[in-house]
């Protein structure tokens, strides 16, 4: 749940901003309410927990608006300058590495929220969480594991095309073929991703159980921070190495796709990045 919480926080507070529309800006401004509602679905808060969580999320949101949005806007501004020409995989990964630093910072802030919440959880709430994990796992398996190898590849290609067309506009057949080839040759293994997902969930349930009703705030905070770190990056060296290889593959793919882009497509990328930068600065200033 911690990783899922972080993913939702990151998605709502960071990535959703990039849709570039008033609806998403409204969503960002209402992120504490939306997140509180989403977390309640996983943990079935009582009234006191819900009020306390809303207060904590308001604080996280204010911190993120003040500290992180301007940094992301600067990152996007730098990316615009590179996007008009060719980019290397190293440059793409450099931008991503900077973004990951900010994601870790968000994880540190979120760990305190979890440390405050964990001692208040009841056994029935942890059982509810386990059931919600089972429900989400059924959907995950259906999307990522069920079907033939060709069907699974086509699903991944379809997602990638939609993601990149948001930046580049309609991709050519050659560009779609490039993405298909890259994904077919990728080291991604859904079975390993499934195993890591299971590990995270069991880790989460165990740590929350251990700190339920606890009265050692400093220890609980340290344990929650360690849990967040394990959620963001696999603790197993082999899994972590594989995770880093997949990130590098993604950087290579972006650089190759950008190299194939027409002048019009590159202009669109620059425009999209500029739009996102403007939105982030506007949201940051609104605080």
* CA–CA dist 191, 209 (Å, integer): 27
Mean pLDDT, rounded, of the chain = 88
Segment 122-168, tens digit of pLDDT: 999 999 999 999 999 999 999 999 999 999 999 999 999 999 998 99
68-93: average pLDDT: 93
In the predicted model, what is the mean pLDDT of residues 15-29?
56
More confident residue, 70 or 12: 70
The DSSP-derived string for 108-162 is HHHHHHHHHHGGG--HHHHHHHHHHHHHHHHHHHHHHTSS-HHHHHHHHHHHHHH
Residue 195: give the domain boundaries: 2-286
Distance from the first to the final alpha carbon of the chain? 29
Contacts (Cβ under 8 Å, ≥6 apart) of 264: 169
Nearest C-alpha neighbor of 257 from the set 155, 168, 153, 159:
168
- What confidence tens digit (pLDDT) does each residue in 169-197 have? 999 999 999 999 999 999 999 999 999 99
Alpha-carbon distance 57 to 101, whole Å? 21
Query: How many CB atoms are located within 10 Å of the residue 213 CB?
Result: 12
Rounded mean pLDDT of 21-28?
63
Mean pLDDT confidence for 6-28: 51
- Total number of domains constituting the chain: 1
List CB contacts of 209: < 8 A, sequence separation 6 or more. Answer: 126
Q: What is the pLDDT of residue 22?
A: 52
- Give dist(CA 187, CA 43) in Å, integer: 35
Greatest Cα-to-Cα distance within the chain, rounded to the nearest angstrom = 61
- Main-chain phi, psi angles of 88, to 5 degrees: -95, 160
Question: pTM (2 decimals)?
Answer: 0.88
DSSP 8-class letter at 1: -
- DSSP class of 213: T
Determine contact, residues 207/223, Cβ cutoff 8 Å: yes
pLDDT in tens, 215-273: 788 899 999 999 989 988 899 999 999 999 999 999 999 999 999 999 999 999 999 99
Are residues 253 and 157 in contact, defined by beta-carbon separation less than 8 angstroms?
no
């Amino acid at each position: 749940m911690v990783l899922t919480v972080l993913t939702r926080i990151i998605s709502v507070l960071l990535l959703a901003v990039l849709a570039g529309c008033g609806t998403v800006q409204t969503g960002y401004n209402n992120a504490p309410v939306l997140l509180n509602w989403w977390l309640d679905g996983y943990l079935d808060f009582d009234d006191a927990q819900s009020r306390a969580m809303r207060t904590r999320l308001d604080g996280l949101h204010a911190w993120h608006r003040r500290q992180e949005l301007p940094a992301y806007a600067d990152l996007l501004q730098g990316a615009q300058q590179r996007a008009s020409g060719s980019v290397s995989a190293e440059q793409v990964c450099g931008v991503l590495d900077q973004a990951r630093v900010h994601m870790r910072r968000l994880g540190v802030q979120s760990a305190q929220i979890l440390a405050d919440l964990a001692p208040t959880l009841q056994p029935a709430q942890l059982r509810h969480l386990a059931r919600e994990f089972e429900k989400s796992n059924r959907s995950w398996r259906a999307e990522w594991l069920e079907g033939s190898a060709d069907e699974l590849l086509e699903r991944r290609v379809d997602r990638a095309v939609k993601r990149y067309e948001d930046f580049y506009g309609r991709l050519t057949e050659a560009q779609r073929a490039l993405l298909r080839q890259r994904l077919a040759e990728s080291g991604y293994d859904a079975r390993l991703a499934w195993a890591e997902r299971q590990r995270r969930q069991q880790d989460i349930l165990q740590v929350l159980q251990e700190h339920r009703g606890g009265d050692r705030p400093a220890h609980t905070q340290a344990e929650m921070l360690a849990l967040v770190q394990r959620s963001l990056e696999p603790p197993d060296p082999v899994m972590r190495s594989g995770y880093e290889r997949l990130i590098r593959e993604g950087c290579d793919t972006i650089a190759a796709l950008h190299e194939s882009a027409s002048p019009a497509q590159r202009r669109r990328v620059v425009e999209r990045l500029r739009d996102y930068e403007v939105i982030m600065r506007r949201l940051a200033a609104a605080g």
